[in-house]
Copies of this chain bind each other. A is one copy, B any other.
Amino acid sequence: MKSGLSFLIAALRCEIDELDQLARTSALVGTIGRLVHALQRERGLSNVLLASGGRRFVAQREAQMAVCLRAEEAVRNTFDRLDTEAVRIGNGARLFSRIAWVLPGLDALPELRRRIGAMELSAADATAAFVKLVAGLLAVVFEAADGATDPEISRLLVAMFNFMQGKEFAGQERACGAAAFASGRNDSARQQQWLHLIESQERCFQVFADFSGPALGELWRASQSAPQLAEQERLRRVACAAPAGVSLDAELSQVWFDCCSRRIDAMQAVEERLAADLRLLCEQKTARARAELQAHEALFAELVVEPDAAAAAFFDELPPADPRGSQPRALATAAPIGRQLERSVLEMVQEQSHRLQTMSDELETVRAALNERKLVERAKGLLMAHRRLSEEEAHKMLRRTAMSQGRRLVEVAESVLSMAEYLPSDPVR
């Protein structure tokens, strides 16, 4: 029969196990970040290539595709290691399911690139394809953040996910603005989409700042050069504050693209730092837990001489036994140092249990930040089931409502969920 002490050790081993997995997941998030960055650049270059009828950025795009291939290989390697090393990863089922969804997208990249190179696609179609792929990669990061069991690590993962998501909105804004300037005019639908992208990225960066801690927040602020920001805001105003339909200077397309790109490249530096912090935190936490386990094991080796060491201390509130009336027991007569050990074992258990409880509470607070996205996912699922929509169609429907009503996506999602019973009864099942 196992003793209470062996379960204390088992609990510590579980913690170390979870930290090891978090280290792997965090490494995964870092490599995905680099691939997303590379794909965002490729998307931008492909856009200009297609818009210029195949004349501009041919060589740059070729070079960027090579960068993407290396980043993709790193991601695939990390995926492979996840699968083989740890079948029982945090929320394994959901994480693996997201990976299963995005891998066919990576497999389809060569054909997408071929069609872009052959000028078979419009800039809008190519952009949409890259957006879908990046969204799939970010969904993997989201599950990694949602599955974390350590609140401090979870905090950084939530910051990371929101930063990456904000950066992606910035990338989409770049594409949206480049297309608007290049076409020589803006229309009301694109203006609304543009403002929506600005609002979305600002909210993401706010969550990032709330969760990343002051040092990273400072790095983020410092990375945004004031003149550059002023230039970007000026271009936004020119395009979005003007009445719809007013003509735009097509020459500003390149200015806008370069201005956005400098900002996005600066973001990548912050993201790399965040990934490095995440790695370091995982290492520190694992080292600390391992040291604690060693200390406990050393203590327990001493305790083996007293097999039911902690038992005597359990009912400690009871009045002391009368030494004349009771049979003398080894434990009752143990030396003071012995009693101290018994006490300390129970105290250690209690301490561990309260630490785990506190961690679990903190974790819930951190994860609340991920809830907005979950609400949107849930509303999408509802629409898909009740109205036989694809995921894309459901998302577009929510976004259209949000833009036309001037509300946030999450508010529309909440309305949809609260009206669930008014929707037509589920025709699928």
Contacts and interface: CB of A to CB of B under 8 A. Distances in A.
A2 B102 CA distance: 12
A374 B361 contact: yes
A120 B332 CA distance: 15
Interface string A338-382: 000000011001101110111011000000000000100110010
Interface residues of A, number: 87
Interface stretch (A88-96, A195-203, A217-225): A88-96
A105 interface: yes
A214 interface: no
A384 B133 CA distance: 50
A1 interface: yes
B378 A108 contact: no
A142 B114 CA distance: 56
A12 B98 CA distance: 12
A302 interface: no
A107 B99 CA distance: 47
A308 interface: yes
Interface in A107-155: 107-108, 111-112, 114-115, 118, 120-121, 125, 128-129, 132, 149
A251 interface: no
A111 B311 contact: yes
Interface string A1-41: 11111111011111101100000000000000000000000
Contact of A326 (B118, B327, B374, B378): B118
A100 interface: yes
A103 interface: yes
Given A96-B10, A101-B353, A350-B391, A79 B321 contact: no
B14 A88 contact: yes
A319 B124 CA distance: 11
Given A11-B92, A14-B92, A308-B107, A97 B314 contact: no
Contacts of A321: 115, 120
Interface string A393-411: 0000000000000000000
Contacts of A3: 103, 107
Interface of A is mostly: helix
Contacts of A18: 93
A83 interface: yes
A421 interface: no
Interface string A310-323: 11111101110110
A96 B318 contact: no
B357 A381 contact: yes
A312 B4 contact: no
A3 B322 CA distance: 71
A329 interface: yes
Contacts of A118: 325-326
Closest 5 CB pairs of A and B: A4-B103, A107-B311, A104-B310, A14-B92, A11-B96
Interface of A: 1-8, 10-15, 17-18, 76, 79-80, 83, 87-89, 91-105, 107-108, 111-112, 114-115, 118, 120-121, 125, 128-129, 132, 149, 308, 310-315, 317-319, 321-322, 325-327, 329, 345-346, 349-350, 352-354, 356-358, 360-361, 374, 377-378, 381, 384, 391-392
11 contacts: A2-B76, A3-B107, A5-B100, A8-B100, A13-B87, A94-B357, A104-B346, A105-B311, A105-B314, A105-B315, A132-B317
